[in-house]
């Protein structure tokens, strides 16, 4: 089936999420991967596969019409790569969560994906249980970074620290309260939970979150989580 037919199939009407299922869009340039993911995810009664497209350009186009809750995004694809697609999707549909599903394990790829706007990062050799858990985390407003990936981030940080090239020092940039808020964000706590835990208002939590993003030059929760892991606030 050619690209236009794939896009047409992904855009067919009728899947409106009225069944209460979480809407999933798959973007991967390998047919066997798309078909395998569809079969794997359709076996979960909480999920509905609303489309499967073969490149980043079609993913961007499909998000507007299909309104998925989560996009499973490969990185290396023709016409528009996953990184570019993530940035464009987040620009157009900030509420859509993006879970990167890739073979790339290097810290550079992980950082780039999170900075672009992805809320999760999972390797293609992950188990079905891990992938389903990652999706559930994203639809719940949390982030998910595969343990194998987070280990690489921590290892990279320790290497830089040992060589004297640590990216930045938390003690130089953040207040004690901001560190507390950052730790709770990285643990997947929502604003209301953080407010209750720290005995502060939700508005104050939102202000701390905004300050953290500004001070650390990041734009989403996933990037905050990465920073917290790198600086030893969460394990």
Question: Which domains, from first to last, does the chain contain?
Answer: 3-146 (3.40.50.2300), 167-230 (1.10.10.10)
Strands 120-123 and 144-145: parallel
- Predicted confidence at residue 114, as pLDDT, reads 87
pLDDT score for 55: 95
Helix 82-92 vs helix 56-66: crossing angle, to nearest 10: 20
Whether 62 and 56 have beta carbons less than 8 Å apart is answered as no
Walking along the chain (235 residues) 10 residues at a time, the average pLDDT comes out as 40 49 96 95 95 96 95 92 92 92 86 89 93 95 85 60 49 78 87 91 93 84 81 66
Query: In the chain, what is the greatest distance between 2 CA atoms, to the nearest angstrom?
Result: 57
What residue has token string 């973007």? 27
Q: CA torsion, points 59, 217, 211, 83, in degrees to nearest 10?
A: 10
Question: According to the model, what pLDDT value does residue 18 have?
Answer: 60
Pairing of strands 97-102, 120-123: parallel
The pLDDT, as a whole number, for residue 129 is 94
Cβ contacts of 63 within 8 Å, gap of 6 or more: 25, 71, 89, 92, 93, 96
Q: In angstroms, how far is CA 10 from the centroid of its own chain? A: 22
Q: Model-level pTM?
A: 0.64
């Amino acid at each position: 089936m050619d690209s236009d037919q794939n896009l047409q199939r992904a855009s067919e009407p009728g899947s409106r999420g009225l069944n209460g299922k979480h809407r999933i869009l798959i973007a991967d340039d390998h047919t066997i991967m798309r078909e395998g993911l569809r079969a794997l995810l359709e076996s979960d009664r909480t999920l509905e596969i609303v489309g499967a497209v073969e490149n980043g350009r079609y993913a961007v186009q499909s998000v507007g019409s299909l309104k998925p809750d989560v996009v499973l995004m490969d990185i290396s694809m023709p016409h528009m790569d996953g990184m570019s697609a993530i940035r464009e999707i987040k620009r157009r549909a900030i509420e859509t969560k993006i879970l990167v599903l890739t073979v790339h394990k290097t810290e550079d790829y992980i950082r780039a994906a999170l900075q672009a706007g992805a809320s999760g990062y999972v390797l293609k050799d992950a188990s079905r249980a891990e992938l389903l858990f990652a999706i559930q985390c994203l639809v719940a407003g949390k982030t998910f970074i595969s343990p194998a990936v987070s280990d690489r981030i921590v290892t990279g940080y320790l290497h830089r620290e040992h060589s004297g090239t640590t990216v930045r020092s938390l003690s130089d940039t953040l207040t004690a309260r901001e560190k507390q808020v950052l730790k709770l964000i990285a643990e997947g706590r929502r604003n209301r939970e953080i407010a209750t835990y720290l005995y502060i208002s939700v508005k104050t939590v939102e202000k701390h979150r905004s300050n953290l993003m500004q001070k650390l030059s990041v734009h989403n929760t996933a990037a905050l989580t990465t920073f917290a892991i790198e600086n030893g606030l969460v394990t």
